[in-house]
Structure 1
Amino acid sequence: MQELFTVNNMVFLLEGLYLTLYISVIAIFLSSIFGTILAIMRNQERGILKWIATIYIEIVRNVPNILWIFVIFLIFRLKSVDAGVASFTIFTTAALAEIIRGGLNSVAKGEIEAAESQGLTNSQIMWHIILPQAIRNMLPAIMSQFVTVIKDTSFLWSVLALQELLGKANILMGRYTATSQVFVLYGLLALIYFVVNFTISQIAQKLAKNTRSR
């Protein structure tokens, strides 16, 4: 069993974890930007922007993410990492747009009316009154979405043969055929996912408590 826990093997798995987090962080960052734009568009009372945002969100959310990975990779012929980032950004943008829209709607109408009475424009109200409060309210949900993205990056190995955390683990499994070694390796993989996602979940819970206490 000692031959499994070598420095080279651990570094090999950490490289996969780095790629998993790299794709996840970029996807969440870009999705937060695009999701905010879509949420504002969909929150309009009427108009073509509202329809564009609604159509995008409903189509993307109701199609499995793994299909978007196939579509982006096969149609646009991107490199594996770029295809992974693009597909997760497309899918996560739709999910975050609904989270952000809920955050926008959570701001009390009285505060908006008070800002209007002070002569603030709609854009000023959005950027100075609504968004700061909405972001604070929706941070826990965004962190939970981050956990989902990290777990779902495991699709990239089966679709793109991308050597993220699961991909690296599967490569190592090809080198060790003993049943006990395979179980230990799967257990180590599950432990890594658990530690990363549990840490993020704890941060999300603390953010939720801090939000409720304010």
Structure 2
Amino acid sequence: MTFQEQAAQIFTYNNMKFLMDGLGLTLYISLISIGLSTLFGTVLAIWRARSKSILRWIAIIYIEFVRNVPNILWIFVIFLIFKLKSVEAGIVSFTVFTTAAMAEIIRGGLISVNAGEIEAAESQGLTNLQILWHIILPQAFRNMLPSIISQFVTVIKDTSFLYSVLALQELLGKANILMGRYSTTEQVFLLYGLLAMIYFVVNFSISSFSRHLEKSWIYTK
């Protein structure tokens, strides 16, 4: 069988559709996880950066403990202990792990806000909540948006763990299922090359969008 014939067996409509279904699940898990992580991470970042009560220590313990335990272990723990379905376990485990990373990103954004603006808002009689909502958070999210998008890229790549742990048919899982249908070395390389190209196109597009934001008028001061 010629190389062209082997390639034709790989690059079929059904195979591409099969992989795109896996990509859809990958993006679904990633989007929900990054959305929830941004929400919870914002709360933890505020507790750690601006609270002087026990909430600050709760945030510190959560962030430092979760960040220093491998994500793959969280996938195992959440799946086995809470008996969740594979997709739900994937979303919860990635949310738990990514929340800690997002909290540190957001905390950096909070710290980056000019202290003079906060003092000016206080002098105008704004409450702490009003200052946080109208002054600090808008500027913080503007400063840290590229980092949040970069974290989204990381989550997309790390969803490949879900196949090895949960046998979840995300993008890598779909590719490995297809792998069982082909036997030649050329076909294996073609399929994994196609998989790598899909990851590259998706993540490069997201990274390019992040760089565009950094250069856009939103970030001009």
Asked whether the two chains share a fold, i.e. TM above 0.5, the reply is: yes
Aligned partner of 2:69 among 63, 66, 74: 63
Which residue number in structure 2 is paired with residue 33 of structure 1? 39
The CA distance in 1 between the partners of 2:54 and 2:162, in whole Å, is 35
* Higher mean C-alpha deviation, range 199-208 or range 58-67: 199-208
Q: Deviations over 1:95-127 (max 9, x none)?
A: 000000000110000000000000000000000
Matches within 5 A, 1:32-51: 32-51=38-57
1:184 and 2:190 aligned = yes
Matches within 5 A, 1:10-25: 10-25=16-31
Which residue number in structure 1 is paired with residue 170 of structure 2? 164
Deviation of 1:213 (Å) = 2.4
Structure 2 residue runs of 5 or longer lacking an equivalent are 1-5
Deviation of 1:45 (Å) = 4.9
Which residue number in structure 1 is paired with residue 103 of structure 2? 97
Which residue number in structure 1 is paired with residue 3 of structure 2? none
The CA distance in 2 between the partners of 1:10 and 1:130, in whole Å, is 45
1:207 and 2:213 aligned = yes
Which residue number in structure 2 is paired with residue 155 of structure 1? 161
Q: Deviations over 1:60-113 (max 9, x none)?
A: 000000000000000000000000000000000000000000001100000000
Structure 2 residue matching 1:43: 3-state secondary structure: helix
1:87 and 2:93 aligned = yes
- The one-letter amino acid of 2:157's match is K
For the aligned residues, what is the CA RMSD? Answer: 0.9
Q: Deviations over 1:6-54 (max 9, x none)?
A: 1111100000000000000000000010000000011135210000000
Superposition TM-score, scaled by structure 1 size: 0.98
Superposition TM-score, scaled by structure 2 size: 0.95
The CA distance in 1 between the partners of 2:51 and 2:165, in whole Å, is 40
1:112 and 2:121 aligned = no
Structure 1 residue runs of 5 or longer lacking an equivalent are none
Structure 1 residue matching 2:9: 3-state secondary structure: coil
Aligned length: 214
Q: Which segments of structure 1 move beyond 4 Å, counting only runs of 4 or more?
A: none
Structure 2 residue matching 1:3: 3-state secondary structure: helix
The CA distance in 2 between the partners of 1:206 and 1:105, in whole Å, is 24
